[in-house]
Amino acid sequence: MTAAAIGASTLRTLAVRLRTSAPVSARILSELASELDRGGPVADLLCSHSAVHSPLFGIQALAGVRLLMLSGKAPELSQRFASAHAAAMAGESDSTALLAWLAARRAIVENAGEILAALDRTVQQHQPKTAGFLLRGLTMIGAQKVRLLELGACAGLNLILDHYRWFGLGWEWGDKDSPVRLAAVGPQPPPELEIVDRAGCDLQPRDPADPKHAMILQSFIPPEHDALRWDLDDAVELAAKVGVKVARSPAGRWLRENLVPPDERDTYTVIWHSSFWAYLTEDERNEIETTLTAAAGSMPLARVAYESTDFRSNPRLTVTIYS
């Protein structure tokens, strides 16, 4: 298959997934796929980038278009998209969606550099609700004091899960005054569970206090997904206040440097990662596993992961007790 055919197939796959929840975004992706089929300036631009071969190409392309709207560089597209979204919510004709696509096409051609920069970025669909799987893993471990180390931590939104308010079936946990209020599944966490230390690393960390970085994180949410955007905005604002820092470093090296016994012997060290493992090479995975195995004799240690085997399968929660 040609690069254009591979990219078009990926775009259409994502369009099908978004058709119900984000119909205008799905229409733009479908039209973009047809553009790759036909050839022309847009196809030449997108197919010039190696991301066209990635299963995440559709997410990156849509994020690039979305970022043009967020940054104010595509005002016509923002207007057309809002009209099309309103029409879709009202169950009206999708003719406005076609106008949104035409505006998107012009915006892509006029902002080629920004689109290529978006294709360079790692996908960071960084949602605070993902920390709910971490909370469930911590509940399974049952430790009272936890030192939390996150690999692929992005802006650190998962590292501050105790600053959110979680609502499960018959229970609540976390900061009762938190602006971030999220549903949770599973049993009630131990009331005495405390995160006594936290740190993380990422190859492309995002500073929640930097508006440009926050905008990049927002770009990975389709405009139609209002609730996700509100949760993200609240969590980013909270993370900026908490001040958690994420180091720029490869995960294997950072883990070797930071996985030392905690100051207090009754503290459980938990390594956490989500939507991260598939980005690593086999050598990088082995390096992390070797480091964890070697450290198991010197501290209580566990790993909580919410990962898929590849970019196409559904993620699964796993809890591994090393010591």
What pLDDT, in 10s, does the model give residues 39-56? 999 999 999 999 999 999
Which three-class secondary structure state does DSSP give residue 223?
A: coil
> Taking Cα atoms as reference points, which of 219, 220, 214 lies closest to residue 74?
219
What pLDDT, in 10s, does the model give residues 56-108? 999 999 999 999 999 999 999 999 999 999 988 887 767 899 999 999 999 99
Lookup: tokens for 217: 């994180």
Question: Whole-prediction pTM value?
Answer: 0.91
Looking at the predicted structure, is the pLDDT value of residue 244 above 90?
Answer: no
How do the residues of the chain divide into helix, strand and coil, expressed in percent and rounded to 5? 50, 15, 30
Residues in the chain: 323
pLDDT confidence tier of residue 194, bands split at 50, 70 and 90: very high
> Taking Cα atoms as reference points, which of 149, 187, 184 lies closest to residue 276?
149
167: left (phi over 0), alpha (psi -120 to 50) or beta: beta
Q: What is the pLDDT of residue 93?
A: 64
What pLDDT, in 10s, does the model give residues 133-150? 999 999 999 999 999 999
Amino acid at 226: D
Phi, psi of 147 (to 5 degrees): -100, 120
Q: What is the pLDDT of residue 265?
A: 85
- Cα–Cα distance, 195 to 144 (Å, whole number): 8
Looking at the predicted structure, is the pLDDT value of residue 11 above 90?
Answer: yes
- Cα–Cα distance, 17 to 140 (Å, whole number): 32
- Cα–Cα distance, 22 to 15 (Å, whole number): 9
- Cα–Cα distance, 69 to 89 (Å, whole number): 20
Q: Which residue has the tokens 């047809």?
A: 34
- Judged by average pLDDT, the poorest of 128-142, 205-219, 308-322 is 308-322
> Taking Cα atoms as reference points, which of 213, 223, 281, 215 lies closest to residue 252?
281
Looking at the predicted structure, is the pLDDT value of residue 171 above 70?
Answer: yes
Q: Residue 270: which residues within 8 A CB-CB, separation 6 or more?
A: 137, 138, 141, 143, 146, 147, 148, 149, 301, 302, 303, 304
Q: What is the pLDDT of residue 214?
A: 97
Chain Cα centroid distance, residue 300? 29
Q: What is the pLDDT of residue 1?
A: 84
% of the chain at pLDDT higher than 90? 91
What pLDDT, in 10s, does the model give residues 247-287? 999 999 999 999 999 988 899 999 999 999 999 999 999 99
Could you tell me the CA-to-CA distances from 198 to 102, 156, 238, 270 in Å, in that order? 46, 9, 16, 10
User: What's the chain's average pLDDT?
Assistant: 95
* DSSP bridge partners of 159: none
* DSSP bridge partners of 183: 167
Question: Does residue 190 contact residue 142 with C-beta atoms inside 8 Å?
Answer: yes
- Cα–Cα distance, 77 to 98 (Å, whole number): 11
